[in-house]
Structure 1
Amino acid sequence: MIRYTVRPERVEQSVELLRAVYADLERLRPSGLRYDTFRLDDSGGFLALIESEGDPVEAPHHRLPSFQRYRAALSEICTEQPGVTHLDEVGSYRSEWR
């Protein structure tokens, strides 16, 4: 899980950059990757849930130019830089994340 906050005036830029990433993912359909991003409470907060096979650093979306552009932009548009939290499932009900 990755959580971060972008400046209010940069939210739309963040969303547009993310749309480009998801368009590339839809076009390329890399295997072994689940990737979802949510905007929190109509604010500048974002939460990304990522599951990939193998080393997370080698996840397929990291190689996309659109993702690299998004990642580079975060350093200047964030008020809270991305923080990674590793999740260990305790239980689940009807989740596709299993």
Structure 2
Amino acid sequence: MQRVTLVRYAAKPDRADENEALSLAVFNELKITQPEHVAYALFRDGVNFVHLFVNTRDEDASALVELPTFKAYAKEIGERCEAPPETIRLGLNLLASHGL
């Protein structure tokens, strides 16, 4: 079973670039730490952000949430958003994928 987490939100217009920079810092750290069994993607359309996190081994998200850059990103997320982020967490069995 894989843990799939989808988070979407709209950043405040004056904080969207800051949010993107904090988010991209997480990806830079992931490139360095190379955690196994983790897939993570970030999408942006204007002030709208979507994060997709998949742990293909188990439901432990610590490979992501324990990163110092992720903690910095998450610290003031509520203040950077128009409304609280919507989080969907699912435990799923992967049937097929391409590029994941």
1:66 to 69, 81, 85: 69
SS at match of 1:95: coil
- What is the identity, as a one-letter code, of the residue corresponding to 1:82? P
- What is the identity, as a one-letter code, of the residue corresponding to 2:82? T
TM-score (norm 1): 0.81
CA contact (8 A) 1:33 1:59 kept: no
Asked which structure has the greater RCO (Cα within 8 Å, sep 6+), the reply is: 2
Identity among equivalent positions (%) equals 24
Consecutive unaligned residues in structure 2, runs of 5 or more: 1-5
- What is the identity, as a one-letter code, of the residue corresponding to 1:48? H
Deviation at 1:86, TM superposition (A): 4.0
- 1:6-64 residue CA offsets vs partner (Å, 9 max, x unmatched): 10000110011112111100011100100000002xx21101111013225x3411010
* Partner of residue 39, structure 2: 34
Provide the C-alpha distance between the structure 2 equivalents of 1:95 and 1:82, rounded to a whole number of angstroms.
Answer: 27
- What is the identity, as a one-letter code, of the residue corresponding to 1:63? E
Query: How many correspondences in the alignment?
Result: 93
RMSD: 2.1
Provide the C-alpha distance between the structure 2 equivalents of 1:54 and 1:61, rounded to a whole number of angstroms.
Answer: 13
- What is the identity, as a one-letter code, of the residue corresponding to 2:73? Y
Choose between structure 1 and 2: higher helix proportion: 1
* Partner of residue 3, structure 2: none
CA contact (8 A) 2:78 2:85 kept: no
